[in-house]
Amino acid sequence: MSWLVSATDFLLSEWIWNVTWGWHHIPINIFVMIFLLKFFGRIRIMPAVLSAFFSQIFSFLVLTFIAVFLPKYIFGTQAFQQTYFQQTLMDPFLICLCLGAIYFVLNTLFFMLLNLVYKINLRLFILIAFVANGISAFLVYKFWSYSAL
């Protein structure tokens, strides 16, 4: 049970980071993913924009559900009274990378679901999601380090 509490604390800490200091991640990732889908994936602009935008909205909503609403349902009223994790990853670069990894996993889930409806090149979309989230995590870290001065 303690691993579940640690996992929910980690996800909640990442979600809080996402909506405060790391809010740049979603818009940067949308633009980077559109660029990569358009020029490296050779996909038309409208499907590239729609898939990039909706993958980020899907990822944010799923992360919000998993980090905020699910612990409240599982643990009840004691969900947010104890925090063991409290962002022990004090290095902002690791925090940004973890957020990028979380978004990569959720983007991959979105593209797998999208592949059930529309036949897409799933390997290409997963590779582009990996690269886009890595670039976005690095850029968010750079924005954070300059804004923290």
If we measure between CA atoms, which residue out of 134, 140, 76, 72 comes closest to residue 103? 134
Which mean pLDDT values do the consecutive 10-residue runs of the chain (149 residues) have?
Answer: 76 87 91 96 94 96 90 66 53 89 97 95 96 95 71
Model pLDDT, residue 1: 61
Contact 128, 33 (CB under 8 A): yes
Quick one: pLDDT at residue 10?
84
What pTM was estimated for this model as a whole? 0.87
User: What does the pLDDT read at residue 146?
Assistant: 67
Residue 56 CB-density burial (10 A; 0-12 exposed, 13-18 middle, 19+ buried): buried
pLDDT at residue 102 in the model: 96
Q: What is the pLDDT of residue 50?
A: 96
The residue type of 86 is Q
| Domain residue extents for the chain | 2-147
